[in-house]
Amino acid sequence: MNENANQFLADYANKLRSLNSEDDLRQLYRWFWQSKKAIKSTANEINKVLKLDGKYEIKPDLPCLAVGSVIRLLVLSVNPGWKEDLNSKEDKYCQKTEEQYIDLMLNIFEKGPDVWKQRIRWWGKPFWFVRLLNDGVKRFGNANSSEAKWRSAHKSKLIGGWELFPFHSESDGISSHIRDCNPDVYRLRESVEESVRAAIRMSPEVLLIASPVGTQIVHRLFPDKWFCEELGTNTRISYCSLRNDGKTTEIFTINHQIFSARRSFTNDKILKAVKVLRSKWHRQHGR
């Protein structure tokens, strides 16, 4: 990776290390907005070095690290998706001012549908997992339609998204490279690990990590803390509870992309495993 791309990724990792609050997140988005030229050249360099093209190509539009509320249920994915018709509208809107960019990211469930002229269907699946929160369904409200669920997501402030890497692509092309030892992607891997640490420092009530690479990273960062239950062939859900600045964050990891890939297990099976894992944890730790 060339010097300029490595410098941007190094600067980004340093920004992540100081991320502790929504105000810090706002400042990070300001820095993204002011670094548009560096973002474009870094995206191009990543594509060149990792030979990413077609649906795996990293896009040069403004990044998306976190959306919605990050202090209740926080869903961590690999990187944000990209669709030409949707993201061209989003980027046009965000390019106008820093404030519009920040406002859309942090109020995505209110502002997004007006900007895109549609609602992203993917979010219908994470909404179900407000059940991981204490009284989550009651707090979210009895929303039936897609419009009502998005309205509840905004008003309740119960859910948000976080990305391992904030650059858009149609499909995930970076996971396999993050896992290898190629020195050319050291800074990329560093920024991804710092993203996980930053998400935990935000102290959400529940952090749900549903990807193989995200699971691998958080287990490496926090070894020997996990209880596990099998969900299906080669798929398991793991659990631990961490204290940060006087707050507790429950972390659930599933080594499968449950929101975008086929799976043999149901949401109800996940929820049953969650109850077992919490019980095991509390028995061992006397809580």
CB contact at 8 A, 13 and 187 = yes
Mean pLDDT of the residues in the chain: 94
| 16-28 burial: b if 16+ Cβ within 10 Å, else e | beebeeeeebbeb
- Backbone torsions φ then ψ of 208, nearest 5 degrees: -110, 115
User: How far apart (Å, rounded) are the C-alpha atoms in residues 116 and 232?
Assistant: 36
Percentage of the chain exceeding pLDDT 70 = 99
Average pLDDT over residues 262-279: 95
Q: What is the pLDDT of residue 2?
A: 86
Number of Cβ atoms within 10 Å of the Cβ of 151: 16
Q: What is the pLDDT of residue 245?
A: 81
- Kindly list the domain boundaries of the chain, sorted by start residue: 3-285
Confidence of residue 260 (pLDDT cuts 50, 70, 90): confident
Q: What is the pLDDT of residue 185?
A: 86
Q: What is the pLDDT of residue 36?
A: 96
Q: How confident is the model over 66-118, as pLDDT tens digits?
A: 999 999 999 999 999 999 999 999 999 999 999 999 999 999 999 999 999 99
